[in-house]
Chain A
């Protein structure tokens, strides 16, 4: 792989950009691999990357039924934060956030991580107490957050209306080191690095069955034929239930649609991410100038990648109240993604009833921010066969044993 650098740009400029190579190869599948990862989204590619980087396992295939990064990795609102309440959540999300800080250098690919700050508004007294508690918990966890006053909120985001008639802003949880990243670039950067390590990224290759013998996976049936493997990692977000069913077990997961939308581009007017969970909307401004807006999930199982219109209306109503200046903005695009929600709104990174099969799912509405940390923890699980400290609490048997990692208050809605 030729490294991207200022010298590469200069060199290519001099020869009319004829020397750029493809960022990743698209090989035909081999007969067998040491490990197969189902799903070439952010989490799957990150898992493969850290398998290679941290554990030297590079005889790996990443199978993708569509195109890489075409699922929820390409459909989120790119928010990165780690201000969670529970210790195990804060640990993995903070690991993830800290990996994002150096990801561009690590991958030699600009993922445009922008630590612009994430602000979660407190608009009820209950929320004030909740966020104060989170701020204290974060202090103990080593995650840098603080509870700030309405005046400070206004300073950080002048277009915010802090004196709304229904829900005046009473304060906010502020994580200065949170921010946004370029979602596609995260997938592309990991894909390029994986391909460079000799891994095979096989797109347009849908897994249609999991073949197992004596409680162990031996390979997968795909639309490109049977592929053998010594280890299997299922990292498919919304369709986790389907692939798990092929492998013969059921998950505590339900798939629902989550929507997002962007406005027409306008001049820079906010340089942070604002989340308003009481009225339920969140917004940031992309580098192109579009306001990137996220809303809520529908309350029913859905695989269609489109959500209900009334949720968009509710989200925009909330945001117009919070940011009056956007009331005349036109919305350009709207889309939905299928998110996998668990009972406690925390992810699953777990062994499964099949000995050499592992699953990473249940990131629900907040998967993008977790990509590097999730891949890091999943790679450790797949390489060693046992979870490391980051993944230990996130096994799928916690639901049977009552060891919930309850983030439904902190994270059940906006992510």
Chain B
């Protein structure tokens, strides 16, 4: 079972305790944006086979939204971090690069 450590309350939460929220770090677009921007925000997804950044909610725990770096091809978890960031923090990027030297980096 997938286990993610909540960066807020520190609990190693099992999947049944969490609600998934799919891709993280989406740039929001709303009224006034072009159709292309809104479609990209609303529907187009990276959906990578490999390193992925996701939103998760510790739903049956502290209730907080947090972010996780995970490999979709192996289910390996690289780390979790608070949600109040625009892109993955440096320490998470380092952890991923240590495990996946061929990874092209966050873009």
Contact = CB atoms under 8 A, between A and B. Distances in A.
Nearest to B35: A400
A399 B15 CA distance: 31
B52 A301 contact: yes
A399 B36 CA distance: 10
Given A299-B20, A300-B54, A399 B72 contact: no
Contact of B47 (A254, A299, A308, A310): A254
A310 B54 contact: no
A384 B84 CA distance: 50
Contacts of A254: 22-23, 45, 47
B39 A301 contact: no
A242 B39 CA distance: 19
A241 B39 CA distance: 16
Given A252-B44, A253-B45, A300-B22, A310 B15 contact: yes
B36 to A, nearest CB: 7
Given A399-B39, A400-B35, A252 B45 contact: yes
Contacts of B85: none
B24 to A, nearest CB: 11
Contacts of B52: 301
Interface string A294-320: 000011111110001110000000000
A255 interface: yes
A209 interface: no
A251 B47 contact: yes
A302 B49 CA distance: 8
Contacts of A342: 43
Contact of A241 (B36, B47, B73): B47
A401 B38 CA distance: 10
A399 B2 CA distance: 32
B72 A310 contact: no
A343 B20 contact: no
B47 A304 contact: no
B22 to A, nearest CB: 7
Contacts of B54: 300-301
Contacts of A343: 42-43
A302 B47 contact: no
Nearest to A342: B43
Nearest to A250: B44
A300 B47 contact: no
A239 interface: yes
A342 B45 CA distance: 10
Interface string B30-58: 00000110111011111111001010000
A303 B1 contact: no
Nearest to B20: A299
A239 B36 contact: no
Contacts of A300: 2, 20, 22, 54, 70
A343 B39 CA distance: 11
A255 B23 CA distance: 12
B56 to A, nearest CB: 8
A301 B47 contact: yes
A300 B15 CA distance: 10
B74 interface: yes
Contact of A304 (B40, B45, B75): B75
Contacts of B2: 300, 308
Nearest to A240: B47
A343 B74 CA distance: 25
Interface in B66-106: 70, 72-75
A400 B39 contact: yes
B14 to A, nearest CB: 9
Interface string A339-371: 000110000000000000000000000000000
B72 A303 contact: yes
B49 A242 contact: yes
A300 B72 CA distance: 9
B72 A301 contact: yes
A399 B43 contact: yes
A400 B41 CA distance: 10
Interface in A156-182: none
A128 to B, nearest CB: 28
Contacts of B16: 310
A255 B49 CA distance: 9
A302 B39 contact: no
Interface of A: 239, 241-242, 250-255, 298-304, 308-310, 342-343, 399-401
Interface of B: 1-2, 15-16, 19-20, 22-23, 35-36, 38-40, 42-49, 52, 54, 70, 72-75
| Nearest 3 A/B pairs, CB to CB | A252-B43, A299-B20, A400-B39
Given A301-B23, A308-B1, 4 more contacts: A300-B70, A301-B52, A308-B2, A310-B1
